[in-house]
């Protein structure tokens, strides 16, 4: 992946020619609930990979009481770690409790770099064995060139970015589809959304 590709993950509201498909739910403004059942914040924005035309992250504005001493703290939730609650129009994050929020890097709304994405992904990673494999060092203590290349080529291919679980509950009710692949809507230049 070239450095030119690293600025391709951007907030949806910065993309004039894109929107959530009218047939799909837009979770912006929905509350986000952790595995322990506590509300931790709300979805502020969707971060879109413009190269793949997929939502990669939910930008979550954390409730101030969840992160004592920090106001207006945002974190990124990779789409594969979230799911929609079909009965309450909210987002559930099963992989974290409210007490674990400090381990997630703060998102300052700056450009999304690969280093930042890696730190976010690693803080959420389900399979710690994969992280250890990519963290293996060569003789000078840095990840080997082969490992860095493999990590870049496969960055979005792991379950952290698999949006099928996020949309599954809405599909089951017939209320929506996957945000991700580009769809065609004659009423708008380019929709984010698609049909499987």
Q: Which domain holds residue 15?
A: 3-194
Neighbours of 4 (CB within 10 A): 8
pTM over 0.75: no
Beta pairing class for 31-34 and 39-49? antiparallel
Nearest to 94, CA basis, from 60, 126, 120:
126
Per-residue confidence of the chain (196 residues) as pLDDT tens digits?
A: 444 455 689 999 998 888 877 767 889 999 999 999 999 999 999 999 988 888 899 999 999 887 766 788 999 999 999 998 878 889 999 888 888 888 899 999 999 999 999 999 989 874 434 434 444 444 455 554 444 444 455 788 878 888 888 876 554 444 333 343 334 444 444 555 543 3
CA distance 74 to 105: 9
Task: Count up the domains in the chain and report the number.
Answer: 1
Which residues, at least 6 apart from 35, have a Cβ–Cβ distance to it below 8 Å? 93, 94, 95, 96, 97
What is d(CA 196, CA 129) in angstroms, rounded to the nearest whole number?
Answer: 31
φ and ψ at 86, to 5 degrees?
-65, -25
Is-contact 144 136, C-beta < 8 A? yes
Contacts of 78 (CB under 8 A, 6+ apart): 56, 57, 120, 121, 124, 160, 161
Q: What is the CATH number of the domain that holds 110?
A: 3.90.50.10
pLDDT at residue 168, rounded to an integer: 67
């Amino acid at each position: 992946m070239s450095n030119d590709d690293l600025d391709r993950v951007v907030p949806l509201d910065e993309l004039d020619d894109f929107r959530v498909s009218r047939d799909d739910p837009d979770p912006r403004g929905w509350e986000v609930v952790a595995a322990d059942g506590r509300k931790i914040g709300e979805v502020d924005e969707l971060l879109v990979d413009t190269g793949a035309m997929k939502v990669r992250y939910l930008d979550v504005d954390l409730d101030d009481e969840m992160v004592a001493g920090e106001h207006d703290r945002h974190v990124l939730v990779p789409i594969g770690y979230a799911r929609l609650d079909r009965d309450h129009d909210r987002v559930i994050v099963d992989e974290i409790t409210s007490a674990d929020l400090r381990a997630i890097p703060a998102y300052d709304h700056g450009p999304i770099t690969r280093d930042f994405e890696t730190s976010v992904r690693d803080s959420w990673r389900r399979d710690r064995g994969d992280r250890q494999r990519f963290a293996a060092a060569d003789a000078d203590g840095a990840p080997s060139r082969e490992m860095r290349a493999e990590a870049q080529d496969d960055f979005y291919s792991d379950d952290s970015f698999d949006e099928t679980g996020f949309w599954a509950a809405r599909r089951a009710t017939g209320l929506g589809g996957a945000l991700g692949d580009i769809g065609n809507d004659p009423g708008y230049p380019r929709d984010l959304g698609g049909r499987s």
